[in-house]
Every structure is written in C-alpha cells, then in structure tokens.
Amino acid sequence: MKNHNRVAKRHPSILILAHKEEDVHGVNEIISEQTDDYSCLIIKKTAFEDIKQLAPKVLLFALSDVKKSICMYNQLIKRNYLIKNHYSVLLCSNKESGLAFKCCLKKLFDSYFVFQPLYEKFRLQLIIFEGLKRFDSASDCINSLNELVQNHDKEINSQIELGLSYKESLIEEINKSRTEVNSLNKGLLDQLPDDISKKLINDLNEEHLQPLLNALEHSISCKLLELVDSLKHSKSLNNQLIQKLEQPIFPNKELSNDSNLAINSIEPELPQSILLVEDNHIYREMIGEVLSSQGFEVEQVDDGLAAIKKIKQHKYNLILMDLFLPNLDGLNTTKHIRNVGKNKLTPVVALSGNKNKQLVKKWANHGLDGYILKPSTKEEILTTIKKVLK
C-alpha cells in the first residue's frame, strides 16, 4: 500500500485513519487476511473531504493517542463529514485502554482494540466482522475467517455445532411459547368485557409474563454462548492456532520438559503464593486461572513499579516476570528484587515471546531462575513452575 493521503480504493467499506502508515502496518495485514475491501488514509489537510467522499461503513481511528482520535471524530460529526451510518472503532495503546473502554461505555465509539502492542489478531477481525454485519456486508469475509481458524478436531467441531443447535432450538421454543402466550391473551381478551378485565390482562402480560420470558431467554442464551465460546477456546483449538515454539531456556538450572511428569497433580501441601507481573491482561488472566486451579495463591500486577511495591510488602514463593513491562522493565525489576526487600532469594521465572538467548543469559546474571516462552500451554507453564519450586 502506498503511503499517500488519497487512497486507491474508490469506496472501501473499511477505512483506517492514521498519522503514519508504519503505525498500522500490522493492522493492515490482519484486515487484509479478512477482506480486500479496505484502505488506509494518512491524515493530512484533505483528510476530512476524503472521508466524506469515501463514506466508509467501518471507520478505525488509529491516531497517535486517544485524545486526538476523539477530537477528530467530534469534528467529523460536528462539521457533517460523517453523514451516513457507520461503525466506529477506536484503536489505542495498552496504557490508554481504560480511556478507550470509557469512550465505548459512553457510546461515543462502537468498539475499541488495543493495537500497541498488537496481540489479539482474531479479536480485531471479529470487531470488523461485527461492524460489517450492521450493513449486511459481512458475508464475503465469513469464509476467509473460517479458514483462518480451521479446526480439524472432529470432536470439538461436533460439540460446537451441538451447542449452536441447542441455542437455536431454545430460541425457537421461547419464541413459540411467547406466541402461545400472546395467543392465549388475545383469546381471553376477546371473551372479556372491554374495560377493567382487559386492562388487568394487559398489565399481567407486560409486568410479569413478558419479563419472565425475556429473562429466561437472556439467561439460557448467555449460558449457551459461554459453552460455545469455551469450546472454541479449548486446548485442542489453541494448539492449532499457536505454533509450537522452541523449548524454554533455563540458564541457571538444569531444567527441561519431561513428558512423564504428572502435570495436573501439582498440589502444594500449603498454598504457595505467586506474584504474576504481566502487562497483557488476556495472558495474565489466563496464567492466573491456570495457577489458581492448581491451588496457588496468585497476586497480579501489570508493571514493574507495581511489582516493586508488592515485593516490599509480601514474601512470595515464586515470581513470574514479563520481560517487557511499562514504567520499569522486567530486567531492572528483577535487579531490584535481588537487592532489596523480602524476596532476595525468591525464584524469578521470565515470561516473554523474545527468543534471544543472549538477552536471557544477561537477565540470568541478575537472578533469573527459569524462562517460559509466550504463548505457552498449561503443561509448559506448570512443568516449569513445579521444577523451580522443588
């Protein structure tokens, strides 16, 4: 894609707004896997007129910060450059995700996505898909999305389809019941006088029967959706979506994966405490759930400075530390742990997608006890932790 203000596609359904094209290179690549009906517009003097002329259905704001995106969106609306219905998406950095969430909560933007750093490829594609669905324009990209997450595990596929069939049957039954209730009400109303009795039946229907049906539909549909979602994110599917990375590196100890270890039998006699330092909230919550399910007490923080506050207050059995953290990186946080506080001898295990062995060895000199590459499976995480805690 050329780096210019005037975009090549005449009327793209999806338009990305950015100050520099290199800022959204990864976003462009992800959307291109989904559809070619998109363009990137670099913000210059003619940007407002271009946006009005292009009239996109899905508009992604990827300016240098959230405040600039809000100001531009406000001006587009105020000056009548966005006169057609559209789906607005706010792209932001991890540190501004709270502000982006607030913008969506207030319904200024329809959705938001953290693209700095760019972790969740499939979530961005789902947001685009949901935006296009509003305009009946999503059918062209369904097949491409299915190919991206193709799962060959027949058992999981059958469970997903079974869950979807349950949901469809449930909704059909609820709609049928609702129709029968309405029909019954109508029959009763036809037989009753035209004054108080009719009003009584109407009040009963509006205040009791319909709310109960709505609550039942919402409750059971949510549970079925949770079932389908959990199946889609099962271990089998994850193992297909995540490429197998090289074995973890453990410079200070002879640590290796042993397939014969009883991974699921980690049961400390007394609850052991672990401090989890990770800025990616999705990965942090995933590891936290894995550890909690094995009986560990887990405290979570998202940056190095917060970790230092914790280690001054509490002594932990283990610290899991991301290499790249906001405010204070993992290397300097580990140095601090080894110099002060109650955790000078507490094992520290690195979490990072960086496979640079020289960097790992450098960190090891400052007290690293183990290393887990991201993304990692439950077995890899628990194997490493069990070895370090021996």
- CB-based contacts of 276, cutoff 8 Å, min separation 6: 284, 287, 288, 291, 298, 299, 300, 301, 320
Examine the domain organization and report whether 285 and 322 are in the same domain: yes
The number of distinct structural domains making up the chain is 3
Q: Please tell me the predicted confidence (pLDDT) of residue 175.
A: 75
Give the pLDDT score at 197: 58
- Supply the CATH number for residue 292's domain: 3.40.50.2300
Alpha-carbon distance 344 to 317, whole Å? 11
Residue 64 and residue 30 share a domain: yes
Task: Give the pLDDT confidence score for residue 173 in this predicted structure.
Answer: 74
Regarding whether 26 and 135 lie in a shared domain, the answer is yes
What per-residue confidence (pLDDT) applies to 15? Answer: 94
**Residues 158 and 144 grouped into a single domain:** no
69 and 168 in a single domain? The answer is no
The model's pLDDT over 207-252, given as tens digits with 9 standing for 90+, comes to 666 666 666 666 665 655 555 555 545 444 444 444 433 344 344 4
Count how many residues are written for the chain: 390
Residue 317 is predicted with a pLDDT of: 92
pLDDT for the residue 356:
66
Q: What is the model's pLDDT at position 327?
A: 82
Mean pLDDT by runs of 10 across the 390 residues of the chain is 45 92 90 88 90 92 94 91 89 93 93 90 89 73 56 62 71 74 64 62 66 64 57 47 40 42 46 89 86 90 89 90 84 83 86 71 73 82 87
Please check whether residue 9 lies inside any domain of the structure: no
Q: Is 4 helix (H, G, I), strand (E, B) or coil?
A: coil
Q: Tell me if 53 is assigned to some domain.
A: yes
The residue out of 207, 239, 271 marking a domain boundary is 239
- Provide the pLDDT for residue 6: 40
Q: What local confidence, expressed as pLDDT, does residue 160 receive?
A: 67
> 59: part of which helix (H) or strand (E)?
strand 58-62
- Residues 234, 270 within the same domain: no
* 114 and 186 part of one domain: no
The answer to whether position 65 is within a domain reads yes
The per-residue pLDDT for 120 is 84
Residues pairing with 228 in the sheet: none
Prediction pTM value: 0.43
For 63-78, the pLDDT digits (tens) are: 999 999 999 999 998 8
Assess if residue 4 is contained within a domain.
no
Residue 252 belongs to some domain of the structure:
no
Q: Are residues 122 and 27 in the same domain?
A: yes
Same domain (yes/no): 208, 268: no
CA angle, 343 then 346 then 350, to 5°: 115
Per the structure, the complete domain to which residue 285 belongs is given by 263-388
Residue 299 is assigned to a structural domain of this protein? yes
Residues 233 and 319 in one domain: no
The answer to whether residues 267 and 302 belong to one domain is: yes
Last residue of a domain, one of 118, 148, 178: 148
Residues 132 and 175 in one domain: no
Tokens of 366: 């400052």
For residue 246, is it within any domain?
Answer: no
Cβ neighbors of 39 (< 8 A, separation 6 or more) are 1, 7, 8, 9, 12, 14, 15, 16, 54
Choose the final residue of a domain: 206, 239, 272: 239
Is 8 contained in some domain? no
